[in-house]
Amino acid sequence: MCGILAVLGCADDTQGKRVRVLELSRRLKHRGPDWSGMHQVGDCYLSHQRLAIIDPASGDQPLYNSFIAARDAIGVTPLYIGWGIDGWISSEMKGLNDDCEHFEIFPPGHLYSSKQGGFKRWYNPPWFSEVIPSVPYDPLALRKAFEKAVIKRLMTDVPFGVLLSGGLDSSLVAAVTVRHLAGTKAAKRWGTKLHSFCVGLEGSPDLKAAKEVANYLGTMHHEFTFTVQDGIDAIEDVIYHTETYDVTTIRASTPMFLMSRKIKSLGVKMVISGEGSDEIFGGYLYFHKAPNKEELHRETCQKIKALHQYDCLRANKATSAWGLEARVPFLDKEFINEAMSIDPEWKMIRPDLGRIEKWVLRKAFDDEEQPFLPKHILYRQKEQFSDGVGYSWIDGLKAHAESNVTDKMMSNAKFIYPHNTPTTKEAYCYRMIFERFFPQNSAILTVPGGPSVACSTAKAVEWDAQWSGNLDPSGRAALGVHLSAYEQEHLPATILTGTSKKPRMIEVAAPGVAIES
């Protein structure tokens, strides 16, 4: 069930209410363009929009009289709950923001029962308490757990592929998929040649690396390019679909949004993606500054718990905008339990011992006899998606914001946006667009805030005070760590200065994305 909207305990059972629920449900149609349905029992309405991945010919969803609303363990799939005269549940915020007095994120790993009322946590793994684990590192066990997670996600009755950036995570997803695809039902129906997809600016690091990995693995590779202007033209659509004003999420969602449109046009309905690895293994470059294993482990726990507001949100909504499903094997519950039980001393970045970020994952797939990947890909430095698509992408976004947000607007930002006040012109630009679509205070509160360096929480500044003046979520903000870090004169300021032009909102145009297969 790819898009749901429920109204529970409805005080109004008129035809007008039914029409309104159907109208709001259509706002979620992009999530499930294959089938839709509405069921009413007494004072409850349940509407769904289905993307048929398993058994496409049977579109109807089974609907029953009592209900349990639950969200997956990590929050891979979005869900919101709202209250007013009625109670509402929706896959996306746009399904309830106009009709609810208050709404919020339905917490991951929880359920809500019509019989008992209230939330109850159903997912409570050992790592959730943040107690420091002590299990010795077993590379073979970790490898087998990930292979099992990938195999689970090969169950499909429709054409599918993998998102391949050429970085470690997506390359491992592709390598394991290639190795296990032949014996699956999907291979019998669609063939054993795996399709891979990559997006980037012309000449970007990801395009080059992805093509090399695709050639090594023998995939049917599809390379999509876009221009900075294509991305800027799509920003409003991206913010509407992702329902966030978080800078990192929007930077990374835009190329993914453009790519998803093209993937769906090729007849593909499901892709496997590599989100979650950096949170589990401490892969972001700011983890180089982790002072000890205890701090590192607690930070990885916090990052996993917050994934539903960042990368999970991006991966799901940027693809679902075009009726494409993204599956994420790194966030398989059993795999997370295996990875998070490892003594975090093994996850510490130790250059003196030859350990770079995510060393335990790299080592698990470093097979001399049957290599999964070339060594230089297996040990490639972490590159954030919004950086890897091309460094000029972020630079172009900043330049665009500079020409659209005045210094005076920035000086008044704390009065106009007292919650999560934008501290850069880029953030201000996104916030303006977001509040045009979602002006409610409840919507504003669904987006987290706080200082960030290279996708960090505030911990990065605690670990290295010199980063406090360089608060940008790009990986290139990790000075002394990223191989292509910002030059000193290009450091992002807390509040950028520039020309005082009137803000202008560019209309969204169809992106001109070129395809090379």
Q: Which residues are catalytic?
A: 2
Evaluate whether 429 touches 401 at the Cβ level (below 8 Å). Answer: yes
The reply to whether 273 sits in an annotated binding site is yes
The reply to whether 201 sits in an annotated binding site is no
**Six-digit token string for 496:** 């950028």
The reply to whether 199 sits in an annotated binding site is yes
Residue 184 identity (one-letter amino acid): T
Q: How far apart are CA 149 and CA 103, in angstroms?
A: 33
515 bridge partner residues: 224
Count CA within 13 A, CB hemisphere, residue 454.
29
For residue 430, what are the CA distances in angstroms to 229, 244, 251, 392? 16, 9, 10, 19
For residue 344, what are the CA distances in angstroms to 136, 347, 352? 9, 5, 17
Q: How far apart are CA 101 and CA 67, in angstroms?
A: 23
Evaluate whether 337 touches 127 at the Cβ level (below 8 Å). Answer: yes
- Helix (H) or strand (E) run with residue 388 in it: helix 385-388
Strands (E), 348-459: none
Query: End-to-end distance of the chain based on CA atoms, in angstroms?
Result: 32
Evaluate whether 496 touches 424 at the Cβ level (below 8 Å). Answer: yes
SS3 assignment, position 437: helix
Sequence-distant (≥ 6) Cβ neighbours of residue 514 within 8 angstroms: 224, 225
Q: How far apart are CA 478 and CA 285, in angstroms?
A: 6
Sequence-distant (≥ 6) Cβ neighbours of residue 394 within 8 angstroms: 251, 386, 387, 474, 476
Torsion of CA 164, 165, 166, 170, to 10 degrees: -50
Q: What angle do CA 139, 141, 145 make, to 5 degrees?
A: 115
The reply to whether 163 sits in an annotated binding site is yes
Count CA within 13 A, CB hemisphere, residue 166.
24
* Nearest partner of 174 among 161, 189, 158, judged by Cα: 161
Cβ–Cβ contacts within 10 Å for residue 97, how many?
A: 23
* Nearest partner of 391 among 505, 495, 472, judged by Cα: 472
Residues at the binding site for ATP are 163, 199, 273-274
Residues at the binding site are 163, 199, 273-274
